[in-house]
Structure 1
Amino acid sequence: MVLGGSMVIVKIMGMVYKILLSGQYGGVGTGLFNSAYALYNPLFMLSTAGFPIAISRMVSESITKKRYKDVRQIHMLSVPIFIVAGWLCFLAMIVGGFIYVKIIHADNAIFALLCLSPTIFFGCLMSIYRGYFEGMKNMAPTAISEIIEATCKLFLGFTASFVVQKYGMSCYEATGYVFGTKCTNQVEAENVIIPIAIGAAILGISLGSLFGFLFLFIRYKRGGDGITREELQNAPPPRKSSQTLRVMVRTAIPIGLGAIIMSLGDMVDSTIVNIRINGIMQNDPDALLNVYGSLIPDYVYDSGTTHTFLYGCYGIALTLMMLVTAVTQVFGTTALPSVTAAWTEGNKEKLKKSMETVMRVTTLVTIPSGIGMSVLAEPLLSLIYNSSSVSDEVEIGSRVLTIMGISVIFIATSTPLCSMLQAVGRMDVPLKLFAVSMVIKIVVNYILVGIPAINIQGANVGSIVSYGFVTVAALFVLCRETKIVPDFVSIFVKPLMAGVVCGAAAYFSEIFFDFFFRQRLATILAVIVAMVAYVIALFVFKAIKREDILQMPKGNKIVKLLEKRKLIR
């Protein structure tokens, strides 16, 4: 609960951070920011390679068996692993960054990449303590460090970018030069400032990871791990270091490889979208410009950054989608204990109920969210990015979000399904499925993004096809391994029916309220009406069960209230 709550706070703060940056620096700035993260994510996953989860499991198991000397040994062995991995991947990002920006035809993204690279090293140092504390069932240090990271990212990052922008413009107004580059007009000055300002904003992320590590380090040194001297003395001798290390690596590699492959999705999108759209602009620019008309500003076209701008518009829609995936990540985490316990006990009835609850709660969130995003794409983005300076980006982003709303259903649903496969001992399956899905995504993206009439929407179609495959295949393997066929009507059909009601209520109420109120208020009212209609539909279609509500915060109180009113049994 502590970790889940902190995750929600961190995701909201991260969303605010991205909204502020997009509002200030538009599609080009967002494109540069997302391009840096596209390289960072797989490198960070490579540097940690599943070790935090492996350490958490091994520590938890050792504590259960009262092998406290093993607990300390696990911690000592993890320190050099993370330090070396962090340094290597930090250097790889610096060197690889110069190559990557050439590949995606975005040389000015190098500032963001260089400023983000220290985050890999400090992130590895944090992983030393996060996995250890989580294995001790102490989630508070991890939660607090995540909030420290997010706070620094938001306040220090945005402040730094604001200072850089103001300083750059003052230099231009005084001398006509910006950071050593002569600019003949304000647009040229802004084109020079934006990449450096984005780098400054990202520097806040690196500082956040530094402060997060310092908190964990001080917390460990001052508070310890809770193991007493007496417990250490009474504990059996530790295993051989080589044996512990072998178990650690064997546990970490399948998890790490799966995480690395999953993180490649953004890199695939970034690389292919930038390369293919840049190719269109080189060979047939009119075909692409005819799709968007005046929505692509002249300064973007003149500066040769149309591919970065459109990828930034894709990223603007992606920011909203990530909220849904963040929620289902929590479901994936909470799925493991109940499903693992039922599987270990061999209790088929309990396992079936646990699986159905996780899948149903997931679809009850993903389906209405996805449909709602699709039907209210433009009003939602206009509400969030309430600035005339990014109206073109919002218009293009809303077209993206209309299709992305469908893809989020599959993306967000696949996470808990793969978590349950891990819970029943099939650690290898998610890795294989995501490997195949990345091949599918690369092929579909490359073909479709290169078609001018489709362009960035091709990345959405690639996500639908690839994650649709993962969702269906993971569900099939899960049913085969457990020999359980879940109730598909309650898991998919009823949530879909309620989701359609939600989408229809959102669409028609938005049209109705638009006649009487400003768009922002009309959108807020439409969302409220859609939520009310969805809740009513859940009870009318009997789409929600007692077990589902118990998964929510204050679930017991809600269940008692609904039972009194005879709305559930």
Structure 2
Amino acid sequence: MDNKRTATVGKQSFLHGALILMVAIALVKIIGALFKIPLAWILTPVGNGYFGNAYSLYFPIFSLATAGFPIAISRLVSENSARGRYRDIRQIHTVSVKIFLFLGIVAFSIMFFGAKPYVAYAVSNNPQNALPAIYALAPAIFFNSLMAIYRGYYEGLRNMYPTAISEIVEALCKLVFGLAIASLIIHSGLQEFAASGTVYGEKMASAEYAKIATLPYAAAGAIFGVTIGSVFGFVYLFVYHKRHSDGITQEMLHASPRPLPMKHTTVRLIKTAIPIALGSLAVNLSTFIDSTFLQKRINDIMVDHSQILIGMYANVMPESVVKLNNVPTFLFGCFSNASTLFMLVPAITQAFGVSALPNVTEAWTGGNPKKIKRSIESVLRLVAMLTIPAGLGLSVLSTPIASLLYGSQNAPTVIGRILVLLGLGAIFAAMSTPINSMLQAVGRVDLPVKLLAVGLAIKLVLNYTLVGIPEINVMGAGTGTLVCYIFIMVFALFFLCREAKITINFVSIFLKPLLASVICVTAAFFVQKAGTMLGLGKLSTLFAIAAAGVIYIVCMLWFKALNTNDVLMLPKGQKIVKILEKHNWIR
């Protein structure tokens, strides 16, 4: 490689890297909200069900084929960087390109050609309506595989900027193209109905039925925006790598030992990736289980106990949904909307998992017990500070938040009921993500897989049993998710402490954020109720969230929950520490 175009990129500390990814994820989630929320209004719960079905098939295939490799690349690159083996780092990149090209093509083929058998089994009512969205999403699996090459490589070098910027590019394209295409498809269908009383050549009884007929294609249009986003995200990473390289200079390569045989690197990469991929598959099979069993079990209820279900949702479910046998899709769409909010919390801590892996790997490779303990406690403390108030807030303010974001026409009371459970589950799901990353960093890549497999089995049993009870129905999926992630998080933390041979400070890590969260969420509950009584409407929810944020920060400073070492790892950390020390707000 030409040394003239090699740009040295300094390593980022754990918190610096996490902060970069957190800012990126925050922007991605804001953009995602600007995509998902208007889309929910456009598609309605039925169309959102078609949208969710495509992702339910996509995630397990993508996870099995490629999800383990970015983490494996990151871990091996970080390990070789700590040892100064820069030729091995370059070789890892070369090997990963060949692997991902092959896996991307295979994964695309499985999704595209497996679409019909999947919908025939998973979607009991009108399975053909779920196909367009799946076909539109299939190419994204190939381009996301290619993106994973570069994201894992740069994360291992502790340069989080390429991952962060590519995610923002991807999200922006999804927003612009997805909403535009979905809106145009529905507009076109309704224009045809207004002119001839038909949609795609078929006679429709009313404008409501005409819009329902456009929903499978509108969902496909929205999801094609996701595919376009994956193309632009890959193009950005490819151009970035060509222009900036990886910061490894010719001098560093000359000083590096001879690389291990390519076959050895390939085998090690695959062996490291397989258990991680299986763990990721288990996580994404959770969505697959929700999609498949939730719809099938609700369809069973509609066969034997339809009056109980229809009676429960008579005030929120349109009559056309019942007549067209779309009740399972409607309720799955409500669950998908609740899951979108649920996933906001784990998405934030994903940044800590990505940033923690190379940091903890380096400490583990160096064999420094104090650094290992400090690194692990920093991750846990900061994750707890973010996840506990966010999850409790989602649970306590579930229906007001659903009403604020999705509007009255998207069954906010149903979404809110589900979100009570999923909000609590979000705490444990979000905590388990970085804990599993740290288990992988200390060499136990098998443990997350085993724990996730057991958790998944618990979820499967609970989903199938509880969703089939007419009085519980969709709430059973929320219960299964909550219990599943409680199990995973508790046992993953236990094994992490055992493997790393550390004892963590539970009071400073968990108890202080929990106490502050309870205080702020309780205040938010009463602020929201008071605002509603004063006639502020949806503004009362915004005031409640703002009040909770302010009270939480005050409580955390009062409890001195922040740690000096943690803050020092932030950009401008010394200045922040001086401010906090001046007011005696830091330990």
Same fold (TM over 0.5): yes
Report the equivalent of 1:442.
460
Report the equivalent of 1:16.
34
Separation (CA, whole Å) in 2 of partners of 1:193 and 1:528: 39
2:49–2:332: 8 Å Cα contact kept in structure 1?
A: yes
2:158–2:358: 8 Å Cα contact kept in structure 1?
A: no
Report the equivalent of 1:3.
21
Report the equivalent of 2:404.
383
The aligned runs of 1:256-295 (5 Å cut-off) are: 256-295=277-316
User: Tell me, what secondary structure is at the counterpart of 2:313?
Assistant: helix
The aligned runs of 1:186-205 (5 Å cut-off) are: 186-205=207-226
| CA drift at 1:373 | 1.3
The question of 1:218 aligning with 2:239 is answered: yes
Partner residue of 1:45 out of 55, 59, 63: 63
Report the equivalent of 1:130.
151
CA displacement, residues 395-441 of structure 1 (integer Å, 9 cap, x when unaligned):
21011112221111111111122222222222211111001100111
| CA drift at 1:549 | 4.6
Report the equivalent of 2:75.
57
Cα separation, partners in 2 of 1:543 and 1:74, compared to 1, 3 Å = closer
User: Tell me, what secondary structure is at the counterpart of 2:101?
Assistant: helix
| CA drift at 1:467 | 0.9
* Deviation larger for 396-405 or 416-425: 416-425
The question of 1:467 aligning with 2:482 is answered: no
CA displacement, residues 362-401 of structure 1 (integer Å, 9 cap, x when unaligned):
222222212211221121122222x4433xx212101111
Report the equivalent of 2:335.
314
Separation (CA, whole Å) in 2 of partners of 1:534 and 1:211: 39
CA displacement, residues 441-483 of structure 1 (integer Å, 9 cap, x when unaligned):
1001100011111111111111111111111111221232233
User: Tell me, what secondary structure is at the counterpart of 2:343?
Assistant: helix
| CA drift at 1:13 | 1.3
Partner residue of 1:87 out of 101, 105, 120: 105
Report the equivalent of 2:553.
535
| CA drift at 1:150 | 0.9
Separation (CA, whole Å) in 1 of partners of 2:567 and 2:469: 46
The aligned runs of 1:356-375 (5 Å cut-off) are: 356-375=377-396
User: Tell me, what secondary structure is at the counterpart of 1:278?
Assistant: helix
User: Tell me, what secondary structure is at the counterpart of 1:519?
Assistant: coil
Q: Percent identity?
A: 47
The question of 1:486 aligning with 2:507 is answered: no
User: Tell me, what secondary structure is at the counterpart of 1:294?
Assistant: coil
Letter in 1 for 2:28: V
* Deviation larger for 540-549 or 513-522: 540-549
Letter in 2 for 1:478: L
| CA drift at 1:117 | 0.3
The aligned runs of 1:323-362 (5 Å cut-off) are: 323-362=344-383
Q: Unpaired runs of 5+ in structure 1?
A: none
The question of 1:119 aligning with 2:140 is answered: yes
CA displacement, residues 275-309 of structure 1 (integer Å, 9 cap, x when unaligned):
10111111110111222222111011111111111
CA displacement, residues 181-234 of structure 1 (integer Å, 9 cap, x when unaligned):
222321221111011011011111111111222233333345444555666667
Report the equivalent of 1:432.
450
Report the equivalent of 1:26.
44
Separation (CA, whole Å) in 1 of partners of 2:491 and 2:49: 33
| CA drift at 1:140 | 3.0
Separation (CA, whole Å) in 1 of partners of 2:439 and 2:242: 37
User: Tell me, what secondary structure is at the counterpart of 1:462?
Assistant: helix
Report the equivalent of 2:3.
none
Separation (CA, whole Å) in 2 of partners of 1:226 and 1:349: 29
| CA drift at 1:487 | 2.3
Q: Unpaired runs of 5+ in structure 2?
A: 1-16
| CA drift at 1:240 | 2.5
The question of 1:504 aligning with 2:518 is answered: no
1:21–1:29: 8 Å Cα contact kept in structure 2?
A: no
Report the equivalent of 1:208.
229
The question of 1:412 aligning with 2:430 is answered: yes
TM-score normalized by structure 1?
0.93
2:394–2:423: 8 Å Cα contact kept in structure 1?
A: yes
Cα separation, partners in 2 of 1:547 and 1:277, compared to 1, 3 Å = farther
Partner residue of 1:476 out of 484, 494, 510: 494
2:342–2:426: 8 Å Cα contact kept in structure 1?
A: yes
2:532–2:540: 8 Å Cα contact kept in structure 1?
A: yes
User: Tell me, what secondary structure is at the counterpart of 2:213?
Assistant: helix
Separation (CA, whole Å) in 1 of partners of 2:254 and 2:438: 38
| CA drift at 1:248 | 1.4
| CA drift at 1:314 | 1.1
User: Tell me, what secondary structure is at the counterpart of 1:518?
Assistant: coil
Number of aligned pairs? 566
Separation (CA, whole Å) in 1 of partners of 2:89 and 2:569: 31
1:48–1:124: 8 Å Cα contact kept in structure 2?
A: yes
Cα separation, partners in 2 of 1:239 and 1:92, compared to 1, 3 Å = same
Report the equivalent of 1:252.
273
Partner residue of 1:35 out of 36, 53, 61: 53
Letter in 1 for 2:227: S
* Deviation larger for 176-185 or 112-121: 176-185
Separation (CA, whole Å) in 2 of partners of 1:75 and 1:423: 19
* Deviation larger for 284-293 or 458-467: 284-293
Separation (CA, whole Å) in 2 of partners of 1:408 and 1:563: 33
Separation (CA, whole Å) in 1 of partners of 2:249 and 2:345: 42
1:6–1:143: 8 Å Cα contact kept in structure 2?
A: yes
2:198–2:204: 8 Å Cα contact kept in structure 1?
A: yes
Separation (CA, whole Å) in 1 of partners of 2:577 and 2:138: 47
* Deviation larger for 239-248 or 202-211: 239-248
Report the equivalent of 2:543.
525
Report the equivalent of 1:423.
441
Task: Tell me how large the CA RMSD over aligned residues is.
Answer: 2.3
The question of 1:166 aligning with 2:206 is answered: no
User: Tell me, what secondary structure is at the counterpart of 2:471?
Assistant: coil
User: Tell me, what secondary structure is at the counterpart of 2:28?
Assistant: helix
Partner residue of 1:299 out of 305, 320, 328: 320
